[in-house]
Amino acid sequence: MPTNDTHCTIAPYFKVSEGQLETFKKFCRNAVEQTSTEPDCLYYGFSFNGDEAFCREGYVNAEAALTHLGNIDPLLQEVLKGIAEITRLEVHGPADELAKLRAPMAALNPTFFTLEYGFRR
CB atoms within 10 A of CB 54: 15
Query: For the chain, how many structural domains are there in total?
Result: 1
Q: What per-residue confidence (pLDDT) applies to 119?
A: 82
Using 50 as the pLDDT threshold, list the residues of the chain that sit under it: 1
Q: What per-residue confidence (pLDDT) applies to 91?
A: 98
Domain that holds residue 81: 8-114
Q: What per-residue confidence (pLDDT) applies to 115?
A: 95
Q: What per-residue confidence (pLDDT) applies to 3?
A: 63
Q: What per-residue confidence (pLDDT) applies to 89?
A: 98
C-alpha to C-alpha distance for 50 and 66, rounded to whole angstroms: 29
User: Which residues touch 41 (CB under 8 Å, ≥6 apart)?
Assistant: 35, 57, 58, 59, 64, 68
Residue 95, domain CATH:
3.30.70.100
C-alpha to C-alpha distance for 30 and 13, rounded to whole angstroms: 18
The length of the chain is 121
